[in-house]
């Protein structure tokens, strides 16, 4: 977000915290199976609070940071508009109503879970949920081609992560500390070779 992109005034901005809250409330409630596509449509195309470039840059940062991506995006956008108060407002707008809805569904499901139609529907949605996650991974795999480690080494790290977490069920913390630092060290080494010293 360095350079001119962040200094250029966005085409418009939320007038106050209330407008920010309801904007995130609205986009979140439209997000079945993921909020990100709706966020792009609302913030960039409808409200024009961000241009495409700003949205993509924010998304990139929100994906690098730990935590739920779209929540990070809301925090960053709110912070940019109204500081910490804005960040909390955007977060609340995005989380509160859907949280109530999902917990109501959970309670309802608990009462009807033995009904074959309900458990059948949940089974079907569960399989689709698995497919959605897998397809996200498949869509992002080509980005490894541009990884400074090189495509094959990067794919190797992906495969090792899959085997250790999905098949061997190692605790994630050790996988991230072990494989993660090795991968970061390799990336650092390759970048150092490719770049003139800073």
Partner 1 sequence: MTGAELFGLFGHFLLLSLLAVGGAITTAPDMHRYLVTEQHWLNDAQFTSSIAIAQAAPGPNVLFVAVLGWNAAGPLGAFATTAGILLPSTVLSLWATRWGSQRRETRFVRSFTNGLTPLTLGLLLATGWVLAEPYVRVPQYRWGALGLIAITVLVMVRTKASPMWLVALGALAGVLGLV
Binding residue for partner 1 (CB under 8 A) from 8, 12, 56, 127?
A: 127
Q: Considering the rule CB under 8 A, would residue 66 count as an interface residue with partner 1?
A: yes
Smallest separation, CB 95 to partner 1 (Å): 7
Taking a C-beta distance cutoff of 8 angstroms, is the pair 193, 186 a contact? Answer: no
Q: Considering the rule CB under 8 A, would residue 8 count as an interface residue with partner 1?
A: no
Smallest separation, CB 18 to partner 1 (Å): 20
Smallest separation, CB 101 to partner 1 (Å): 5
Chain-centre distance for alpha carbon 52: 17
Binding residue for partner 1 (CB under 8 A) from 61, 85, 112, 145?
A: 61
Q: Considering the rule CB under 8 A, would residue 29 count as an interface residue with partner 1?
A: yes
Q: Considering the rule CB under 8 A, would residue 12 count as an interface residue with partner 1?
A: no
Coil vs helix vs strand at 115: coil
Coil vs helix vs strand at 117: helix
Dist. CA 160–CA 152, nearest whole Å? 12
Q: Considering the rule CB under 8 A, would residue 175 count as an interface residue with partner 1?
A: yes
Taking a C-beta distance cutoff of 8 angstroms, is the pair 195, 188 a contact? Answer: no
Written as six digits, the tokens of 78 are 């709110």
Residues 41-60 that bind partner 1 (CB under 8 A): none
Closer of 14 and 86 to partner 1 (Cβ): 86
Burial class (CB in 10 A: 0-12, 13-18, 19+), 15: exposed
Residues 98-117 that bind partner 1 (CB under 8 A): 98-99, 101-103, 105-106, 109-110, 113, 117
Written as six digits, the tokens of 151 are 């495509």
């Amino acid at each position: 977000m360095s350079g001119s992109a962040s200094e250029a005034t966005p085409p418009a901005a939320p007038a106050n915290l209330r407008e920010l809250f309801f904007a995130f409330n609205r986009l979140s409630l439209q997000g079945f199976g993921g909020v990100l596509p709706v966020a792009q449509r609302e913030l960039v195309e409808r409200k024009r609070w961000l241009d495409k470039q700003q949205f993509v840059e924010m998304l990139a940062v929100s994906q690098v940071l730990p935590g739920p991506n779209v929540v990070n995006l809301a925090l960053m956008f709110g912070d940019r508009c109204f500081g910490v108060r804005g960040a909390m407002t955007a977060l609340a707008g995005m989380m509160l109503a859907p949280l109530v809805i999902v917990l109501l569904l959970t309670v309802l499901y608990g009462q009807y879970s033995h009904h074959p139609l309900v458990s059948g529907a949940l089974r079907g949605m569960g399989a689709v949920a698995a497919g959605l996650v897998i397809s996200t991974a498949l869509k992002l795999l080509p980005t490894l081609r541009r990884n400074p480690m090189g495509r094959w080494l990067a794919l190797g790290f992906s495969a090792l992560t899959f085997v250790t977490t999905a098949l061997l069920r190692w605790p994630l913390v050790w996988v991230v500390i072990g494989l993660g630092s090795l991968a970061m060290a390799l990336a650092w080494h390759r970048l150092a070779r490719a770049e003139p010293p800073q």
